[in-house]
């Protein structure tokens, strides 16, 4: 039986980040991964999605350029695109392995399960190994939820992991779920030429995200203009010879499809993990932890498996926090400062992009909070770039402190960082308004929203 101080199960953004930090802090750690380092995010999530989003960007902006007098007629070499995506993923994965090696972390290839407090059994390609550790960290992530009538087969019915392998460009793609994954991948396949229909059970897009009604309506208009058909209030039921059946208020209907992408959420991976061996519990499938990530004495859970926002950056922050606390406990030093949960941003890579942080704008009025708005159509840089659909919205509390922001428009995923920093640093709208922002740039939109909130709008209102 191998002995170590911390054993981490799962090498995704939660697990590998925790392992690297522990290694840097001089705490012996073993990272056990049954598939590939980097987890869902790097191998079949964030990174390949963004690689395809970036690669297909010229296709998504043809009409904008045409208005400027520049005609683009890009040709798509799907084999090359697939290979490029694979190169990006492999390159970054190699980087993670190097970072772990540099921090002195041992990586063990295999599938781990808890057999008792501080004890793991690991099935490796060459047999079975036992590991005992002072602390065990569960970071096993999540996997796509399948619908009973539409089991994944990788051929006709795709999970997001299948879709990201770019098996083919279907003539007609039906996307089940108008959430984050459905809309991001729907955008990519539409750009590649598929006729895309998004089927969403609720009456709005991105229902779980907290985007404002105004922002959602804007996105809906933009997606429709790109030729994506949106079927809201429609629930997918099952597979037919030619496609999929949906149920709406009007009754049952059949949609034909060459491929169906099911993107109706993700569930935590707990199967075979042996939670019962240590007395840890699951609730709605997620590992129950206390505020210090403890699921049972000496057993911790971080990332998607613990629930909350299923976001890579939230998982990594939990990894860093836990690593610092464990290192402090195991080495009797003091842990680093907390990361504030309310400043976890979300970034959704549609066209336009949608990004949010903190208190949703539509909740502001009910809570008696102030909102400042600035439309993209009033921003010089947006005009120069031919993309004026969108807005900046910020929410401030009674003392003027920034507590929320929503950005819809180009680069929203990058722009939200300033608002997240302002929230975590407890800055006020006045602080934002005082900071000089370069002209003409998109970050000026946040500055203008702060000016609007303070009642002295410059280029709006």
Catalytic (active-site) positions? 439
Q: In Å, what is the CA distance from 321 to each residue of 242, 280, 293, 337?
A: 50, 21, 9, 8
Element (H, E) at 403: strand 402-409
> At which residue do the structure tokens 């590991």 appear?
131
Q: In Å, what is the CA distance from 404 to each residue of 180, 185, 210, 310, 423?
A: 20, 27, 11, 19, 7
What is the nearest approach in angstroms of ligand NAD to the Cβ of residue 250? 15
What is the nearest approach in angstroms of ligand NAD to the Cβ of residue 208? 4
* CB of 199 closer than 8 Å to CB of 232: no
* CB of 215 closer than 8 Å to CB of 406: yes
Residues that bind ligand NAD (CB under 6 A): 147, 176-182, 184, 199-202, 207-208, 235-236, 263-266, 310-311, 346-349
For ligand NAD, the closer of residues 184 and 216 by Cβ is: 184
For ligand NAD, the closer of residues 210 and 372 by Cβ is: 210
What is the nearest approach in angstroms of ligand NAD to the Cβ of residue 262? 8
Neighbouring-strand partners of residue 108: 32
* CB of 30 closer than 8 Å to CB of 4: yes
What is the nearest approach in angstroms of ligand NAD to the Cβ of residue 94? 23
Give the single-character DSSP code of 277: G
What is the nearest approach in angstroms of ligand NAD to the Cβ of residue 345? 9
DSSP letter string, 161-227 = HHHHT-----SEEEEE--SHHHHHHHHHHHHTT-EEEEEESSSSSSTTTT--HHHHHHHHHHHHHTT
């Amino acid at each position: 039986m191998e002995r170590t101080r911390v054993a981490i199960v799962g090498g995704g953004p939660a697990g590998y980040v925790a392992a690297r930090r522990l290694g840097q802090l001089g705490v012996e750690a073993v990272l056990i991964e049954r598939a590939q380092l980097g987890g869902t995010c790097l191998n079949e999530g964030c990174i390949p999605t963004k690689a395809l989003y970036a690669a297909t960007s010229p296709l998504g902006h043809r009409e904008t350029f045409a208005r400027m007098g520049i005609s683009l007629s890009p040709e798509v070499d799907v084999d090359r695109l697939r290979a490029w995506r694979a190169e990006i993923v492999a390159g970054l994965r190699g980087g993670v392995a190097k970072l772990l090696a540099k921090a002195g972390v041992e990586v063990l290839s295999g599938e781990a399960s808890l057999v008792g407090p501080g004890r793991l059994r690991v099935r490796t390609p060459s047999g079975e190994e036992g590991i005992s550790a002072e602390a065990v960290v569960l970071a096993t992530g999540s996997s796509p939820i399948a619908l009973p009538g539409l089991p994944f087969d990788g051929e006709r019915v795709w999970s997001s992991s299948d879709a990201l392998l770019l098996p083919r460009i279907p003539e007609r793609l039906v996307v089940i779920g108008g959430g984050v994954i459905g809309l991001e991948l729907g955008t990519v396949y539409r750009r590649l030429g598929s006729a895309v229909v998004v089927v969403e059970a609720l009456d709005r897009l991105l229902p779980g995200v907290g985007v404002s009604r105004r922002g959602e309506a804007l996105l809906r208009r933009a997606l429709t203009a790109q030729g994506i058909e949106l079927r809201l209030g429609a629930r997918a039921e099952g597979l037919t010879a030619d496609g999929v059946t949906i149920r709406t208020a009007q009754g049952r209907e059949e949609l034909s499809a060459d491929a169906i992408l099911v993107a109706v959420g993700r569930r935590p991976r707990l199967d075979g993990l042996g939670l019962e061996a240590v007395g840890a519990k699951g609730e709605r499938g997620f590992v129950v932890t206390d505020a210090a990530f403890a699921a049972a004495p000496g057993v911790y859970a971080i990332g998607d498996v613990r629930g909350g926002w299923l976001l890579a950056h939230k998982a990594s922050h939990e990894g860093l926090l836990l690593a610092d606390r464990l290192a402090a406990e195991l080495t009797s030093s003091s842990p680093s400062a907390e990361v504030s949960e309310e400043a976890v941003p979300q970034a959704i890579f549609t066209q336009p992009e949608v990004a949010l942080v903190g208190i949703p704008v539509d909740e502001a009025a009910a809570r008696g909070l102030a909102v400042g708005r600035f439309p993209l159509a009033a921003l010089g840089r947006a005009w120069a770039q031919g993309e004026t659909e969108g807005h900046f919205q910020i929410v401030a509390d009674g003392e003027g402190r920034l507590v929320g922001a929503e950005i819809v428009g180009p680069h929203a995923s990058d722009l939200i960082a300033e608002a997240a920093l302002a929230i975590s640093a407890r800055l006020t709208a006045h602080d934002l308004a005082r900071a000089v922002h370069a002209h003409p740039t998109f970050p000026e939109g946040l500055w203008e929203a702060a000016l609007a909130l303070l009642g002295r709008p410059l280029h709006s209102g």
